[in-house]
Structures are given as C-alpha cells and as structure tokens.
Amino acid sequence: MNEITPTQERSVDVSERPLTDRAKRFVEHIVSTGCSGAEAAVAVGYAEGSSRTQAYRLLNDQRVLDAMHQATKRKLAVSGVRAAEKMLALSIGARSERVQMEASKDLLDRGGYGISNETSLTGISISIDLSE
C-alpha cells in the first residue's frame, strides 16, 4: 500500500482549483469592456502599483484564458443575432446598391451558400472559393 506524505497531501494541481471571484470579475471586465489587463486588474480591486504584475499573472493562467474564451464565445453568440439582423436590414434597405450587394453576399456566405469567384485569363482558369 502506498503511503502519502504530508507534502503530497498539500500538493494540489492549480488547474483543478476554481478561479477566485476576483479572477472571474477580471475576466468579465476584460471581455465586456475590451480594456487592458492592467486596467481590468485595477477595476476589480488590485492595487494600481501591482496591476501590471497581477494582469500578467492572470493572463498566463490557463484557467483564466479558458474562462476568457468561454466568456467571449457567449458574448459573440448574443451579439451574432444583432449583427445578422443588421446585415439583413442593410441588404434590404441600404441606399447604396453596393452596400446592399455586399450585405447580401455576406449573408449568403455565412449561411453556407458561398459564391466561388472564377476568373479566366487567356485560357487559364483560376477558381477561388471564398466560403469556408
């Protein structure tokens, strides 16, 4: 039977610990405002003199980066609906026909109906697929 030493008992993988409330607020502040890490650190209560150091430490913590990624995905998911509505409104009601065309093209591309551009120069055909 393996015996656990006192040092092993206290050793906890940092990646398993949840983020502190302040670190969570740091993430939310950066994602919601787009400010710098130092500005976010001050906004969530770190001393101004150590804000850059704290921001560096937080932004090098994989848990913080993962939380920022998830918060950004949530923000984009919510904003995506508004952006799609704006594109639709532009494709229908913009005064410029070019703006209407570009908005319509972008809507089709994002909807999976991408248009491939083909250009022929002296018998050479070049096909560029702009859809993903």
**Residue 33 shares a structural domain with residue 67:** yes
Residue 46 lies in a domain: yes
**Contact 35/29 with Cβ under 8 angstroms?**
yes
Quote the pTM value: 0.60
pLDDT digits (tens, 9 = 90+) for 66-121: 999 999 999 988 888 888 899 899 999 999 999 999 999 888 888 888 765 555 45
Name the H helices within 16-96: 21-33, 37-43, 51-59, 62-93
Structural domain for 110, as ranges? 94-132
Residue 11 lies in a domain: no
pLDDT digits (tens, 9 = 90+) for 26-77: 999 999 999 999 999 999 999 999 999 999 999 999 999 999 999 999 998 8
**Residue 72 shares a structural domain with residue 103:** no
CATH number at residue 57: 1.10.10
Give the residues across from 106 on adjacent strands: none
Assign 121 to helix, strand or coil.
strand
**Residue 71 shares a structural domain with residue 114:** no
CA distance 7 to 27: 32
**Residue 24 shares a structural domain with residue 74:** yes
Residue 54 lies in a domain: yes
Residue 127 lies in a domain: yes
**Contact 93/80 with Cβ under 8 angstroms?**
no
Assign 5 to helix, strand or coil.
coil
**Residue 23 shares a structural domain with residue 74:** yes
